[in-house]
Amino acid sequence: MLNFKKISQIGFIAIAVFLASCKDKDVTPTTTTTDTTSYSAVNSWVYGIMNDAYFWYKNMPAESSLDETINPTDFFEKLIYNRTTVDRFSTITDDIDALTDEFNGVGKIFGISYTLSYTDDTKTNLGAFLSYVVKGSPAETAGLKRGDIIMKINGTQLTATNYVSLFASSDTEIFTLGKVVGTTIIADDTKTISVTKATISEDPVLFSTVISKPDYNKTIGYLVYTQFVPGTTANANIYDNELRQVFADFKSKGVNELVLDLRFNPGGYISSAETLASLIGKGISSSKIFYKEQWNDKYISYWQSKYGANALNYNFLNEANNIGSNLSRVFVLTSNGTASASELVINGLKPYMSVVTIGEHTYGKNLFGSLFSDDQNRWKWGLYVMLGQTANANDQSDYGTVNGMTPNYLVEDTTVPYQPFGSENETLLRKALDVIGIPAPTTTRMAATTRVQSFISENLRDNLVVPEKRMIKNTPTLRINK
């Protein structure tokens, strides 16, 4: 069994544990140039971790039946349980440092999130429709914003055959923007913006506002939250504290309806999911269960013998700015990319209040896993291994399929250009306001809009990156018993 160092406050595991939800194409392991003479040692290390902690370790082949001299990527795949239907998520990497940075929201980026959709009836030309722009990113500094349409890169029209090479062409790119004329989307060659990538840490608290409707006795808090990350290396809790300040504002203004926009949120740290849920939940406290974990039989026995029968139950926090006493429900805006920690918050709140989902079905990821590196620093190989699954206080965990969570109100976000966050005419927020009973404004003059057909349904980031779906638990480092 893996030897876990004790953590002083929660007495739990000694590794970075996270949930992830990735499509097959997103978890393709990288290859390595390591000399084959070292493969046996790497593969022995891989097997040891998998045989101990993997949720499906009983289904692995015997180590003696495997060739430990082959590339670790190929070796690892031989251990995976039903790759296409069950464990779609475990993977191996030859650059654990780069993967760790990615999980911590640090990367060299332009700072754009977008959908790719067709702009013509022939389904040839594409537009990149900006869903949001990262705060403090080069894209924001250059003037890009939600609702902008990128039609050309470095002067070349985006098409279904060249978009990959264009987006990955350079760290500096010139974007030609587009506009809607009638129901047609065309490039505006007079509007070009040059953007150069930079390494930044993304602030997940993208936007918040309070919509006051005294005639309807409604004060609506609206928050756009893009990933569950508590802070930075310099300030470990800066983003969680920013969340707390948002809810302090909501509380001081008497918010009695909440719209939580998680449509761009692929997951992140459990600690931040716990913080957010604890700011929202009705009638919750540190004595109430937020979620439960189920590990393999060895670890269920281990945790319960060490910490008692409730060792795998995790409770809410006592948050001073909790607004649950003013709420009877929470609206959550979702998409196919809403995953992992986002789904954990939705599922964890359901036993305590009505959770109304609006948008598309979520990704469907109730499995949790861990990122493993070699504690002896012999190589850069690392593993992302599925360890088990989560459930809420009512033992509900029925969304771990490709269909995810079905929304209460199915709304496709295909009207472009996208409206600004907080606009009462923005597609998904508009539906939430309709359900709340707030009519659409009649005095606002709308610019030209049109509907588009998606080319890739999920939101992308920067160079065609589909965000990893994850849930990361802050914990110390683990060692393998020798």
Beta strands (DSSP E) in 285-413 are 289-294, 313-315, 329-334, 354-359, 367-373, 382-391, 409-410
**Is residue 431 pLDDT above 80, yes or no?**
yes
- Nearest of 89, 80, 82, 149 to residue 116 by alpha carbon: 149
Longest CA–CA span in the chain (Å) reads 75
What pTM, to 2 d.p., does this model score? 0.86
**Is residue 17 pLDDT above 50, yes or no?**
no
**Is residue 412 pLDDT above 50, yes or no?**
yes
Per-residue pLDDT band for 479 (boundaries 50, 70, 90) equals very low
Helices (H), 335-443: 341-349, 427-436
Paired sense of beta strands 367-373 and 16-19, if any: antiparallel
Least confident of 117-131, 234-248, 421-435, 465-479: 465-479
Cis peptide upstream of residue 417 (ω within 30 degrees of 0): yes
User: Do 49 and 383 contact (CB within 8 A), yes or no?
Assistant: yes
Contacts 24+ apart (CB under 8 A), 294-299: 294/388, 294/389, 294/390, 294/391, 295/55, 295/387, 295/388, 296/53, 296/54, 296/55, 296/56, 296/57, 296/58, 296/387, 296/388, 298/1, 298/52, 298/57, 299/1, 299/53, 299/387, 299/388
Least confident of 305-309, 317-321, 322-326: 305-309
Give residue 161's identity as a one-letter amino acid code: T
Per-residue pLDDT band for 105 (boundaries 50, 70, 90) equals low
pLDDT one-digit tens code per residue, 330-384: 999 999 999 999 999 999 999 999 999 999 999 999 988 888 999 999 999 999 8
Query: Which of the pair, 108 or 405, is modelled with greater confidence?
Result: 405
DSSP 425: T
**Distance (Å, whole) CA 78 – CA 410:** 39
For 110-172, the DSSP string reads --EEEEEEE-STTS-BEEEEEEEE-TTSHHHHHT--TT-EEEEETTEE-BTTTHHHHHTS-SE
- Nearest of 290, 374, 280 to residue 319 by alpha carbon: 280
Q: Which pLDDT score, from 0 to 100, does residue 100 have?
A: 74
**Is residue 58 pLDDT above 70, yes or no?**
yes
Average pLDDT estimate for 192-198: 97
**Distance (Å, whole) CA 170 – CA 296:** 45
**Distance (Å, whole) CA 464 – CA 186:** 22
DSSP 37: G
pLDDT one-digit tens code per residue, 150-178: 999 999 999 999 998 999 889 999 999 99
**Distance (Å, whole) CA 356 – CA 72:** 44
Least confident of 355-359, 439-443, 466-470: 466-470
Which helix (H) or strand (E) segment is 278 a member of? helix 270-280
